[in-house]
Amino acid sequence: MKRWIIVMIAGLAALFTLDVCAQERGVKFTGGTDLVSTYLWRGVYESGPAFQPTLAMNVGNFSATAWGSVDFDGSYKEMDLTLAYAIGPVTVSLADLYWTGHDDDRYFRFDGSSPHRIEAGISWVVSQKVPFTLSWYTILFGAADINDRGERAYASYFEVAYPFTVKTIDMKAGVGMVPWNAAATYLTGNRGFCVQNVFLNAGKNWAIKGMSSMSIGIITNLVWNPALEDVNFVGGVSFRM
């Protein structure tokens, strides 16, 4: 499985090199941070109030993103690194997902009991006029990726989302599903297919006067998790530069 991961990274790197050489586009860096009342991941509660910084590099159709989350008392910490490449309406990605809560949380461990999960993803924007986005993600590596029988789960997640605007408010509604048993990743126990994430998001950004490249925003997310019989209403603020 590690060989497949290396092949995928090499493939994304090759696409990046071709894109830079063909288009000769400059490198662009963006960053920012969010402060949220609750951190949810695909409908699953991860922590209470949290800071969530992000840093991204874009070159042509290629992007590399670092994203993290840490709660106020430091009991929960997450660090995600993602490589992505856009081919028209399709984006392919490879992510290293690391978060605490394992028997051994040391970051630089990539053996059979590693706290990292390596996840491949693909998303497709159906059309510009009707911009439904279909996304699929599957974990390829990680000791914590197991089902309720202790077997490799290849935990997967499929989502259908639709962005829209109400007056000046950016909205997005969607539903996410877990297609098979993935107890450790999505806390689904011995269930097979289940609906994991039903959400309605709203947000608005304002440019900071005199700083055209910087903005501040408000975030509100209403999230139901039918599989876990849970609901959360999340609020937050965002800063982008």
Place of tokens 């982008």: 240
Residue 41, amino acid: W
Residues in the chain: 241
Place of tokens 């006029």: 129
> What does the pLDDT average to over 127-136?
94
CATH topology of domain 2-240: Porin (2.40.160)
Per-residue pLDDT reduced to its tens digit, 85-108: 999 999 999 999 998 887 778 888
> What does the pLDDT average to over 137-144?
89
| Of the candidates 138, 140, 144, 145, the residue with the CA atom closest to the CA atom of residue 121 | 138
Per-residue pLDDT reduced to its tens digit, 22-72: 445 689 999 999 999 999 999 999 999 999 999 999 999 999 999 999 999
Backbone angle region of 107, left / alpha / beta, with phi > 0 → left and psi within -120 to 50 → alpha: alpha
* Phi then psi dihedrals of residue 13, to 5 deg: -65, -40
Distance CA 122, CA 205 (A): 27
Q: pLDDT at position 222, please?
A: 98
Per-residue pLDDT reduced to its tens digit, 174-229: 999 999 999 989 998 899 999 999 999 999 999 988 777 899 999 999 999 999 99
Distances (CA, A) of 58 to 27, 28, 52, 66, 224: 6, 5, 20, 12, 33
Place of tokens 């991941």: 41
Q: pLDDT at position 139, please?
A: 95
Q: Where are the domains of the chain?
A: 2-240
Q: pTM of the predicted model, to two decimals?
A: 0.87
